[in-house]
Amino acid sequence: MIGKQKICVFLIVTMLLFIITGCSAPADPDVEISIEKDAMLEEHITITGIKDEGLVITVEEIQALNAVKKEVTSVNSSGEEKTFSVTGALLEEILVKQGTSQKDLTGIRLVAGDGYSIEVPKEILDKRDILLVYEVDDAPLGPKEKPIRIIIPEERAMYWVSNLATIEILETIEQAETNKIIFLETVKETISLEDYPYYDSTDKAIKTQALLEQLEGDTSSQSIYIKAVDGLEKNETFPIFKEAYIKVTGADAPAFLSPDMPKGMHVKDILYFSHASTAWVSYDQTKEMIEIKVLNGHEGILIEEILKEIGVKKEGTYILTAIDGYTIEVNGSDLKNGILYEGEEGQLSTFFEGLPKNTGIKGLLSIEAKTN
Ligand SMILES: Nc1nc2c(c(=O)[nH]1)N[C@H]1C(S)=C(S)[C@@H](COP(=O)(O)O)O[C@H]1N2
Ligand SMILES: [Mo]
What one-letter code names the amino acid at 346?
Answer: G
Which candidate, 301, 300, 318, places its Cα nearest to that of 309? 301
What sign results for the dihedral spanned by CA atoms 9, 11, 13, 15?
negative
pLDDT at 38: 53
pLDDT, averaged across the chain: 89
pTM summary value: 0.87
Please identify, by atom number, the ligand 1 atom nearest to the C-alpha of residue 145. 1
Q: How many whole angstroms from 77 Cα to the centroid of ligand 2?
A: 6
Q: What is the percentage of the chain residues whose pLDDT exceeds 90? A: 79
**Which of these ranges, 19-23, 96-100, 191-195, 284-288, has the smallest mean pLDDT?**
19-23
Q: How many CA atoms lie within 13 A of 17 on its CB side?
A: 10
Give residue limits of the domains in the chain: 42-170, 174-288, 290-372
Q: What backbone phi and psi angles, to 5 degrees, belong to 74?
A: -105, 145
Region for residue 315 given its phi and psi (left: phi exceeds 0; alpha: psi -120 to 50; beta: otherwise):
beta
Q: What is the mean predicted confidence (pLDDT) over 264-271?
A: 97
50-88 pLDDT, tens digit each: 877 889 999 999 999 999 999 999 987 678 899 999 999
Helix (H) or strand (E) holding 150: strand 149-151
Per-residue buried b or exposed e for 268-285, using 16+ beta carbons within 10 Å of the residue's own CB: bbbbbbbbbbbbbbbbbb
Topology of the domain covering 42-170: Sulfite Oxidase; Chain A, domain 2 (3.90.420)
Give the number of the atom of ligand 1 that is nearest the alpha carbon of residue 144.
Answer: 1
pLDDT class for 34, splitting at 50, 70, 90? Answer: low
Percent of the chain past pLDDT 70, that is, above it, reads 87
Q: Tell which one of 75, 160, 232, 236 to mutate to probe ligand 1, the residue whose CB is within 8 A of the most ligand atoms.
A: 160
Ligand located closest to 147 CA: 1
Task: Express each pLDDT in 290-326 by its tens digit.
Answer: 999 999 999 999 999 999 999 998 889 999 999 999 9
